[in-house]
């Protein structure tokens, strides 16, 4: 997707947003900028990625960082950072999740009649979004994945969208600025995340129609289900333009 197409898509995403939604996103951008300011004062690390990798030893492909993931036991939010594949130019990416205890009570897993056991009960969890990072520690993209990639309990896009309000990393470990940053990044790019989640569901549905003899959720040929480049400064510009209208 070229820059002009990306800008057009993002402009369309802002058409139906209320001033309250835009103000919330604007505040999230402010939080992100403040996190960058604080991290840059730490000469030993200096950015989001380095902060997560600190004292973790050698950075090994596919391993989770920090080891054991980051869990907020009050909000049931979770994330980890790792590297293997992703958008062009990325160093690695964050996977973000919400566990069952943090979900609205009416939410249930998507219908499924396949043979693979999905996590259930307290172990159920939903992947929210993956955030691609460049080597300097700045976000460059968002993407969604098929169910098998993260081993999640799969929920429909509309239910995951409801979960966005409940993702909140309210912890000092491994880094308070990083936890504030990851929460604010999801808030800032909420319109894009909602669109990507709906595109994810369509990609899986289309794949199942094309391959009726396969379990689309487990098909290793379908990994990335939607993706989009992002830029914090550009997002803030679009927010401010929309607030002036």
Measured from the Cβ of residue 222, the count of other Cβ atoms closer than 10 Å reads: 22
Query: Which stretches within the chain are classed as H helix?
Result: 3-13, 19-40, 48-53, 147-150, 157-163, 176-188, 190-210, 232-244
151 vs 131: CA distance, rounded Å: 18
Angstrom distances, CA of residue 204 to CA of 52, 141, 142, 143, 190? 32, 20, 18, 14, 21
Reported residue count of the chain is: 245
pLDDT band at 64 (very low <50, low <70, confident <90, very high): confident
- pLDDT higher than 70, residue 87: no
Q: What is the CA radius of gyration of the chain?
A: 18
Q: Looking at residue 16, what is its pLDDT? A: 87
159 vs 134: CA distance, rounded Å: 30
Q: What is the pLDDT of residues 17-36, one digit of tens each?
A: 999 999 999 999 999 999 99
Counting residues of the chain whose pLDDT is more than 90, the rounded percentage is 76
Q: Total structural domains in the chain?
A: 1
Give the residue carrying structure tokens 């989640």. 197
pLDDT band at 5 (very low <50, low <70, confident <90, very high): very low
Q: What is the pLDDT of residues 168-178, one digit of tens each?
A: 999 999 999 99
pLDDT band at 2 (very low <50, low <70, confident <90, very high): very low
Local structure of residue 166 (DSSP, 8 states): G
Q: Looking at residue 219, what is its pLDDT? A: 98
67: enclosing H helix or E strand: strand 65-72
Q: Average of pLDDT values for 45-57?
A: 79
Cβ-in-10-Å burial (0-12, 13-18, 19+) of 38 comes to middle
Q: Looking at residue 88, what is its pLDDT? A: 65
- pLDDT higher than 50, residue 3: no
Judging by DSSP bridges, how do beta strands 224-229 and 92-99 pair with one another? unpaired
19 vs 184: CA distance, rounded Å: 18
Q: Looking at residue 13, what is its pLDDT? A: 83
Measured from the Cβ of residue 5, the count of other Cβ atoms closer than 10 Å reads: 9
Six token digits for residue 235: 């997002």
Q: What's the mean pLDDT when you consider all of the chain?
A: 91
Q: Which of 54-58, 93-97, 141-145 has the lowest mean pLDDT?
A: 54-58
Helix axes 19-40, 232-244, angle to 10 degrees: 150
Range of the domain at 152: 3-244
Q: What is the pLDDT of residues 105-152, one digit of tens each?
A: 999 999 999 999 999 999 999 999 999 999 899 999 999 999 999 999
Q: What is the pLDDT of residues 182-224, one digit of tens each?
A: 999 999 999 999 999 999 999 999 999 999 999 999 999 999 9
């Amino acid at each position: 997707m070229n820059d002009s197409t990306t800008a057009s898509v993002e402009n369309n995403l802002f058409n139906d947003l209320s001033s309250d939604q835009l103000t919330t996103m604007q505040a999230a951008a402010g939080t992100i900028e403040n996190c960058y300011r604080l991290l840059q004062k730490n000469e030993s690390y200096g950015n989001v990625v380095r902060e997560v990798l600190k004292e973790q030893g050698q950075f090994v492909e596919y391993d989770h960082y920090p080891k054991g993931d980051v869990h907020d036991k009050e909000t049931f939010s979770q994330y980890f950072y790792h590297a293997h594949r992703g958008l062009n130019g990325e160093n690695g990416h964050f996977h973000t999740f919400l566990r069952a205890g943090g979900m609205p009570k009416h939410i249930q897993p998507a219908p499924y009649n396949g043979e693979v056991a999905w996590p259930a009960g307290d172990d159920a969890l939903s992947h929210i979004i993956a955030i691609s990072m460049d080597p300097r520690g700045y976000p460059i993209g968002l993407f969604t994945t098929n169910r098998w990639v993260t081993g999640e309990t799969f929920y429909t896009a509309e239910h995951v969208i409801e979960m966005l309000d409940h993702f909140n990393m309210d912890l000092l470990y491994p880094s308070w600025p990083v936890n504030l940053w990851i929460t604010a990044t999801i808030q800032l790019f909420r319109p894009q995340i909602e669109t990507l989640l709906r595109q994810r569901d369509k990609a899986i549905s289309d794949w199942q129609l094309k391959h009726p003899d396969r379990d689309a959720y487990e098909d290793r040929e379908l990994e990335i289900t939607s993706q989009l480049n992002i830029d914090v400064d550009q997002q803030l510009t679009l927010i401010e333009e929309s607030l002036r209208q």
